[in-house]
Structure 1
């Protein structure tokens, strides 16, 4: 387990490295490279003492807006800015908001399109954004024309899911635990918040399992189905997270 003081030290080292990388103001020779702390603090509109605490790994509790001013003053790239907020354990207030009905990115669509078996893409709220014909046939009530696009809503609100999954209770428990692991960093995401609030009202099973606070990583394994047309089926499940869109995932089922 990474201790909080270690994380603060990593944040401090990163900030100092970024400050020393910035061109010095006014030119000329200096004993140390880059900006002085006072110069960066002035640019970012923060206290020099507070900046020193951050760089020293002390408990400075930076706010998201203070970090945003620091990122701007340092001229951080998108990747550097994301690292800064991640190391500080804060959500970037200027991060682009994803649309609730956003289409699947190309990386997800191509993987789904060329998958040899049933495959689908999920957005950050576990709404299906794309799927192939095999997945549409496998999941009546979810991916067909009149389906419930969100995987959690399908699992808890559609009778087709309960009828088709012989181990529905175990699968439902695991699905919520996996979503909770995804959801932990998205408390400011309106779509995920509305999804959880709506399901708590509409499904007693969901509310009961959600309140148990179980967290699990998304893992593969064998998934069985009592399909209404194709009889008993078994698949091994694999999940990929695209590097260009880590808030999405691709799920592929291979015959077991």
Structure 2
């Protein structure tokens, strides 16, 4: 990966990224170092070594992944659905998904970084994939704010501060103080292979594991 590409993915200037590569005395937060490690697709060992060199704690070290220890019933539920379906944890990391969802959200669920907010606000592809990015981003953030108090406050605060520092749009919309219930509704996407696709999104409830959100999308 070229320096320019890595810098663009991380949301930083090529000059700053070059200085970091050269070992110059530049300020780099743990959150930024985590994004660089993700952009470079570092292995677990390489990532650990990077943070040890920087004498920082990896903010993603305890972040659940698609292979995390989920309740078995939660993990397998999306696979039983015939429509795109995925599960979000309290920080809105996708922790389970079926093949239909991985095909639909190819720029998100097939990546190492599976946090929905990071995808919406930091991934360049999200702005073309989401049919109306501004409205979608505003809604997603308002929905997250409404449920964020249920999760680990320290982790939520760290995620919010990271996104406020990396995304001017997140910072702007965060100040709106809007909250919305996550109730689903019509969703429109511009898929790179399938073109324009329309769905009705539903949010079924896990009665036993209420900390997880199940999201299903039925083609219209």
Give me the TM-score of the superposition, normalised by structure 1: 0.58
Alignment length, in residue pairs? 156
What residue is the counterpart of 2:94 in the other structure?
Answer: 128
Deviation at residue 111 of structure 1 after TM alignment: 1.9
Question: For residues 187 and 180 of structure 2, what CA distance do their matches in structure 1 show?
Answer: 17
Q: Compare relative contact order (CA 8 Å, sep 6+) and give the higher one, 1 or 2.
A: 2
8 Å CA contact 1:108, 1:249 repeated in 2: no
Give the secondary-structure state (helix, strand or coil) at the position aligned to 2:107: coil
Give the secondary-structure state (helix, strand or coil) at the position aligned to 1:153: helix
The structure whose Rg is larger is 1
Give the secondary-structure state (helix, strand or coil) at the position aligned to 1:130: strand
Give me the TM-score of the superposition, normalised by structure 2: 0.67
Change (3 A) 1:140 1:251: same
Give the secondary-structure state (helix, strand or coil) at the position aligned to 1:169: helix
Q: CA RMSD in A?
A: 1.4
Deviation at residue 160 of structure 1 after TM alignment: 1.4
Deviation at residue 183 of structure 1 after TM alignment: 1.0
- C-alpha deviations, 1:125-156, integer Å up to 9, x for none? 00000111111111122111x34210000000
Question: For residues 172 and 192 of structure 2, what CA distance do their matches in structure 1 show?
Answer: 29
Instruction: Give the gaps of 5 or more residues in structure 2.
Output: 1-61
8 Å CA contact 2:84, 2:216 repeated in 1: yes
What residue is the counterpart of 1:173 in the other structure?
Answer: 138
Give the secondary-structure state (helix, strand or coil) at the position aligned to 2:210: coil
What residue is the counterpart of 1:253 in the other structure?
Answer: 217
8 Å CA contact 1:127, 1:149 repeated in 2: yes
Change (3 A) 1:117 1:149: same
